[in-house]
Structures are given as C-alpha cells and as structure tokens.
Structure 1
Amino acid sequence: MSTLRERNRLRTRDDIATAAITLFEQHGYEATTTEQIAKAAGVSVATYFRHFPSKEDVLFADEDRSAAAMVERVSERTDRSVSVSALAEPVAAFAVDLEDERTFRLTHLVMTNRQLEPRSLRMRLRWEREVSRRLAAEQGRAEPSQDDSLVASVAITCLATALRFWDKTSSSTGLSDLVRHMFVRCAQVIDEDGQSGQRKVSA
C-alpha cells in the first residue's frame, strides 16, 4: 500500500507533467521554460528538478515503465515463436494501454518537435533492445541473435509507424488498430517484394 508521502509525490509529479504538456501546446516546446512550468504547476523550480532532471524528461517520464510493460506483454504472448507475426498481438496490447487523451497529446508533441527526435529514437532503440533480449532469454541465449534483433526491430518499427500516423488523427483511440494494420501491411510488403524478386530471377 502506498504511503501518503508517496501519493503526494506522484500527485506533484503528475501536476508538473500536466502543466508542461499544456504550456508546450500553447507556446511551443522550445519557447517554454522550466520556470514557467513550475509556476503553472504551483511548485518551486527546485521541486521541479527533484522530479525531472530536464525539460524533455517531462515528456519521457514513463520511459522505464513503458519498456517494462512492453517486455511483459511479449513474455505473455501465446505464440512463442521468434517471428514478427508472433509479436503483433503483444505490441497491439501494449498500444491499448497508451490509448488515452494525455498520451495522445504527448505523442503529438514528441512527433512534431525535431528537438525531441534524439530522445524519441533512444526510447525506440530501448524497446528494440529489451524485446530482443527477452526473445533471446526465452531461447536460452545470453545475447540476442541476428534473428532476435531483426524481429524486435521490425515489430517496434510497426509500433513507431502507428504512433506517427496516430498523431495525424483526431482521436485518442484507435492506436491498437493502427498497430495491427502496420503488422499486416509489413507482411504484405515483404511478401510483395519477395514475389517481385522471384519474378525477376525467373525472367
């Protein structure tokens, strides 16, 4: 059971994040200062930095938790094969947990600010690394193989593409459907390329 102090800490952290997202939307990420965020959240600048080391950390506060959640979904899948298709439902299930208004707004901010691209890429690479390690561990390997890494990379690319196009919609729902669509299209594109390659060889 969480203590009152812990609940207050989480509430303060949430207040800061909410204020930051609103200010970023109103004034732009680059133009917003940590002082403005702290004031809007009703806390001191020192309190802000106790919760978030930098301005961009507000938008990536759930990085550790999201990576853990992704691995948990993968570990619970029914299809235990190391394949892209086996990861479609786990990744879609992970996407369901993101389908809320706040995450939708946050995704829009991240996807439309070039200053945030390095941090966004770092999160994506972390997802890939954690998933590939999970696949390797299931096969009794200490380190991911080429197949583990390739499958994880393609699966996370499907998620990243869905996030990019989710940002272009007007609804905070539907991300999981976009993820499933990306997995289907991925299989179709690979199949089409393979068939065209075969036709070229036989011509």
Structure 2
Amino acid sequence: MRTDDFVAVDMHVAFPFFNIAVPLRPVVDASDPMLEAISEFFEPDDDDTPFLVYSATPMPWIADRGWTLMGHPPFMLRPADPAEVPTPDGLEIVEVRDAVALEQFDATMVEAYPVPELAGRRTFRPGLLDLEGWHMFLGILDGKPVGTAAAHVTSTLVDVEWISTHPRARGKRIGEALTWAATLATPSCPPC
C-alpha cells in the first residue's frame, strides 16, 4: 500500500520485520491521522500478527495506542572507501545463487538470528534471486552454515539486511565478515 503519508506491506507473517510501514514524513503528534491509517492497514487478524513502523525521525509517545518502542535501528552512511574486512579462520562466504543455497540461507537465518516464529516456513522464494540488486550471502564454517547477510543495491544506496550468526559461531567476527560481504556487494556503491 502506498499513500501520500506512508508505504506499507503486510505479509501476515509472525515476524514483524516482514510487516512494516514507513512514514514518508515526520510524525510529530500521537494524534496524527497517519498513525490511525497505519493501524487500520494492519488491522488485527486471528494471529495478532505484529508489525513495525520504520521512522527516520523520532516518533511521538505511542504507548497509548498499545504500541511499544522496539528501538532505533541505525541508519549509517559509509563512503565508498577501502575497508578492513576480517577473515575469520575457516569461514567461507558464498553468494546465494540457486534454490538449494537459498533454502540453506532461509533455514540458517531462522535458526541463527533467531526467528523461531518462522521455523518450518519457507521465508525466501527462488524468485528473489532474480530481482535486480539483491545479493545474499551464506557463511559456512567447518562445512556447516552458521550465518547470513544480504544487501539490496540501488542507484543511491546499499541496504544491508538479515545479518545473523549462529550462537555456536559467535565471538569469531563472523557477523562482521558477513556484514562486510553485504556492504561491499557492489564495491563501487554508493554512488552506483
């Protein structure tokens, strides 16, 4: 859905990061009609599916709506400069290019992030691999998938998403290495 005030998608998945609204302007008052429109878009369903509002600016107090603040995800700018990328011992980072690797990515992200709400579900479909700009990476340690990272590259930015590291592999800079793989998916970007 796209309005003059926000864009939103509701995949009706029990993981809030797949049900999101993005305001296209600041929300400065809790009585802003945009918030009611967002609430109506995500009207409660039988599963009480959660959703997120991604705002690039601070939000007003929203607890009266029954909403909670999840945090402030970072919006970071990284100029296209050389990077010091770690190379953890035994880690192989492979780009996901086929349905088999995509299934591994899917299962690994669900287990490593973790996202128990998505266990047993297929989250990513093979068509995603055909979309322009998407790059997905799988971290393999001792022959087993242990982490994920993805990037969506546009003409103006690289959006890094789905960073995960399995608990058994944490503390080895694997998440950092995967994040760099996604960040540098198209080394000349930005600008592209």
TM-score w.r.t. length of structure 2:
0.29
Higher RCO (C-alpha 8 Å, min separation 6): 1
Larger Rg: 1
| TM-score, length of structure 1 as denominator length | 0.28
